[in-house]
Amino acid sequence: MRQQGLMKTGYYLAVLLFGLVTPTMAEVTVYGKIHVSGDYIDNGDDSDVAIGSNSSRIGFKGSEKIDNNTKVIWKLESDIDVSGERSDLQARNRYLGISHGYGSLIIGYHDTPFKTLGGKAGVLHDTIAERRAVLGVVDASNKFNKRSKNGVMYVSPKLAGMEVRLMRSAGEEGGSGDDDGAITSLSVFYKHDNMYAGIAYEDQELLDADGIRVGAGIVLGSTKLNILYETLDSSDDKAFDRDVYGLSVIHQMDKWQLRAQVFKQDENAAKDDTGAILAGLGAFFKATKNTEFYGVIGATLNEDNAKNPLAGSGHGDKYKPAKAGEDVKGISFGMVTKF
């Protein structure tokens, strides 16, 4: 009898301790995406076949309650090269922060609000027709699609469908106390039912340039439309003075999606005939909840002095034109699975 009483007492103590500990235990999620493709590319002078890893990734994220209104939030995400050409884990969004009813404050390495708004208009993410072949690009260099180092970002709570993001980053040139290369990025985003609209501003001190993006989207039945306008401007010269106009569409048909996008980059004010057009069309089939197959055709059409690539950021491989003025065209077949 005495032994049974001790066992019951131990059982009740275990239940009590479990009940006390469980609510405060950290919630951890392991997630990822594996995205591979076979690409056939013509750079205007030669053609070749390549395998793309397309921002395949693995990540860990979690939260832990401090009290009923406050919790710790964190994320550690890394890019993985499935093709095997790289063995390192390149950093993606990584941060530690606090979330409260008044918003979230995170510290670390994260997409700027300016970059995040640009992603709303792209519908062929990480494929050969990735938008960042022209959007945020100057002289074929990807300058205004930053994942910013040494950053502090505030994300407001959603109030009547509106969210504000403000980031200040010390940048890449110095430590957290050094403003060389500092970036200030701000966005205001509104979403209601089947539509959204947003505006973002970013200032990069190292480039002595800033940019504005304005985007909107709407869902009409089985079709979603997005539009985007971007303008970049230099303070002292015209090296970054140019505009981009974008239009994208997704049409849903049961398990199939048709996606198309066009981004037109005007010529740079500092150099004539440096404009380019990126066009892409894709068909995507959702085989399971987490897996899809696709085919995409894409092209970057360069003016005489332009040398914009096809793909690049997001896709992994950057397919450059043979020389300035040459077009880059390609076709790609891929598979994506998430976990």
Structural domain contains residue 21: no
Confidence of residue 139 (pLDDT cuts 50, 70, 90): confident
Distance between CA 118 and CA 298 in Å, rounded? 19
27 within a domain of the structure (yes/no): no
Residue 5 lies in a domain: no
Question: pLDDT tens digits for 18-63?
Answer: 444 444 567 899 999 999 999 999 999 999 999 999 999 999 999 9
Is the pLDDT at 9 greater than 60? The verdict is: no
Distance (Å, whole) CA 122 – CA 263:
9
Q: How many domains does the chain have?
A: 1
* 30 assigned to some structural domain: no
Percent of the chain predicted with pLDDT > 70 = 90
151 located within any domain: yes
Its domain, for residue 65, covers 42-338
CA 261/CA 217 separation, integer angstroms: 13
Flag whether 19 is in a domain: no
10: number of Cβ within 10 Å? 10
d(CA 7, CA 11): 6
